[in-house]
Amino acid sequence: MSGHKLVQFGGKEKENFKNYLENGGFVFVDDCNHDIDGLFAKSFEAQITALFGPKALQKIPDNHPLYHSF
């Protein structure tokens, strides 16, 4: 998922997105134009917080195994 404008899920989109992720789905998100006040990133993070709570998104530390798997 990428973009530079406001991210705003509608009612059914919220439900589908949440179900998808809760059932093992994966989403990769890139704020491709972060120089426009971070609108895409901020609004996406707000949508995720509304769906999953304030601890849903966390920074991955540099020493996480994800970065050392290959």
Inform me whether the pLDDT recorded for 55 exceeds 90.
yes
Cα dihedral sign, 14-15-18-20: negative
Give the Cβ contact number of residue 34 at 10 Å: 13
String of DSSP letters for 6-69: -----HHHHHHHHHHHHTT-----EETTTTTTTHHHHHHHHHHHHHH-TTS--PPPTT-GGGG-
Look up the pTM and report it. 0.77
Question: Residue 2: what pLDDT?
Answer: 85
Model pLDDT, residue 37: 73
Answer yes or no: are the C-beta atoms of 2 and 32 closer than 8 Å: yes
Q: Would you state the pLDDT for residue 53?
A: 95
pLDDT, tens digit, for every residue of 11-47?
899 999 999 999 999 999 888 766 667 888 889 999 9
Q: Domain residue spans in the chain?
A: 2-68
